[in-house]
Amino acid sequence: MSAPKSNGQPQLLFVDGSFEELAKEMADYLKAEEAKQLLAKESPKEEVLSKLVAASQALNTVPEKEYTAATNLMIHLVLQSADPKKYLPTLCSNFAKPLANSPVHGAALSLNALTTIFNLLGQQDPVRARVFMEILKFLKAHSMFDNLRPYLDKLPEWIDSWDCDEEYERKLYEEVAEIALEADEEETSYEFILKALRTFDADDKEEIGSEDAQRLSLRALKMAILSNTHFLFQDLRAIPSVQALSDSHPVYSQLLDIFAEQDLEDYNDFNEEHEGWVEQQKLDHEKLHRKMRLLTFASLAAATPSREIEYAKIVKALQIPEDDIEMWAIDVIRAGLVEGKLSQKRNMFLVHKVTYRVFGQKQYQELATRVDHWRATLQNVLGVLRQEQANAKAQKEREMQELERKMNNAGVGQGGRRQQGQQTQQRERTDNDD
């Protein structure tokens, strides 16, 4: 959907001729009698265009093979106007009606016509934003999210170049979120709802507390807690309009706090305090309850300095029978919250890695406790190593001393035998002399 680079008026390929010649060709094709009469009278261009655009609704009945050429010519004529934006909404609306004679390719042909308009407008032309909104509505109506996916990363940059106001930017993001949600792309939908929420002025208390801001905040909150893949809520809680829910929807705000950093026991207390509220709000209690168990498992793993969790602690925290520990261990690993393994022999879950749900004062204290534990462990290991080193040194010294003793003893024995031999030889010589 990127616009072509051009220093002059954008032009379609293979469109040649004066405005009058091309307008007459289009009027004949559409059987637009009023436009023909105006051309015969040499009426102003804008009057002719007005009649041609009104008649362009007939384009959705032309043969499939002629549709692209006809729509391209119509687009070219409109872009000759001194003020194309007067005609583009009607033109887009007419193009958005799929070709009646093409049940298979009609939607794709209509989308091609709409994107042609988008591409031929200047990169910074604010009219592109209006055209893009029409494209979004078309994609939503025809469940064509895959056609939008390649351009999602470019959207923030485009919006900046169009210099949209915050309200229109918000509408664009929300429309993308709707299209993604219909395609079961929950994470993408949630991402764009957050983008929409961030368009509210954080310093304007009235704006972040407005009905629209609270509606979107509540929607994001529900999506986050009900998602099967979303387990961290700090990004959501950091948004000012979501923080304002504590005044407009305090019970929802309390529920968000529980999912952000509290445990299953807190969730159960919440349900007792607000009996029937979850059902009244049409929230899925079973889904929420299961998610809280996974989050509680993660918190338990993060809060265990030794990284060894006894089965009894898991049973108590998750409120499950011991036979179900393996199932929940598998689920929490699949969720990406914890990495580890079960030790059936020791009746423990051995934590290798854990995702912190929040990282505040409490988590700093837990980390400090863990560091102290690691320091003590390392000091113990260092003490053992030093003791082993001292033992090895002492053993080596003993072995050297033993070796020296043996060598000394061996030297003394050899000297005594040599002296004895010399004395014997001397006696033998004395006897011979006699």
208, 202 Cβ separation under 8 angstroms: yes
Q: What is the pLDDT of residue 3?
A: 40
Alpha helices, DSSP H, located in 31-165: 33-40, 45-55, 64-78, 88-95, 106-120, 127-141, 145-148, 155-162
Instruction: Count Cβ atoms below 10 Å from residue 76 Cβ, excluding itself.
Output: 22
Token reading at 286: 């079973």
Q: What is the pLDDT of residue 383?
A: 86
Percent of the residues in the chain that have a pLDDT greater than 70, as a whole number: 88
Task: Name which of 54-58, 202-206, 350-354, 418-422 the model is least confident about.
Answer: 418-422
Q: What is the pLDDT of residue 378?
A: 83
Judge whether residue 338 has pLDDT over 60.
yes
Over range 223-230, report the average pLDDT. Answer: 94
Long-range contacts of the stretch 76-79 (C-beta < 8 A, 24+) = 76/11, 76/12, 76/15, 76/22, 77/19, 77/22, 77/23, 77/26, 77/49, 77/52, 78/49, 78/53, 79/9, 79/10, 79/120
- C-alpha span between 28 and 70 (Å, rounded): 12
Q: What is the pLDDT of residue 11?
A: 43
Long-range contacts of the stretch 324-327 (C-beta < 8 A, 24+) = 325/349
Task: Name which of 59-63, 107-111, 321-325, 366-370 the model is least confident about.
Answer: 366-370
Judge whether residue 8 has pLDDT over 70.
no
Task: Name which of 179-183, 334-338, 427-431 the model is least confident about.
Answer: 427-431
Q: What is the pLDDT of residue 9?
A: 40
Judge whether residue 23 has pLDDT over 90.
yes
Adjacent-strand bridge partners of 339: 353
Tell me the C-alpha to C-alpha distance, in Å, between residue 150 and each of 133, 147, 192, 357. 16, 7, 15, 31
Q: What is the pLDDT of residue 414?
A: 52
Which one, of 299, 295, 389, 311, lies nearest residue 344 by Cα?
A: 311
Q: What is the pLDDT of residue 159?
A: 92
Which one, of 326, 347, 351, lies nearest residue 337 by Cα?
A: 351
Mean pLDDT of the residues in the chain:
88
336, 355 Cβ separation under 8 angstroms: yes
154, 188 Cβ separation under 8 angstroms: no
Q: What is the pLDDT of residue 10?
A: 42
> SS3 of 93, please?
helix
Q: What is the pLDDT of residue 426?
A: 57
- Which is it for the CA torsion 54, 60, 61, 63, positive or negative? positive
Instruction: Count Cβ atoms below 10 Å from residue 333 Cβ, excluding itself.
Output: 15
Q: What is the pLDDT of residue 353?
A: 92
Judge whether residue 13 has pLDDT over 50.
no
Judge whether residue 4 has pLDDT over 50.
no
The residue with greater pLDDT, 427 or 368, is: 368
Over range 163-180, report the average pLDDT. Answer: 95
Q: What is the pLDDT of residue 78?
A: 93
Q: What is the pLDDT of residue 422?
A: 55
Please give the order of strands across the beta sheet that includes 308-310: 308-310, 348-354, 338-343
Burial of 247: CB neighbours in 10 Å, binned 0-12, 13-18, 19+: exposed
130, 89 Cβ separation under 8 angstroms: yes
Judge whether residue 39 has pLDDT over 70.
yes
pTM confidence score:
0.76
Over range 332-361, report the average pLDDT. Answer: 90
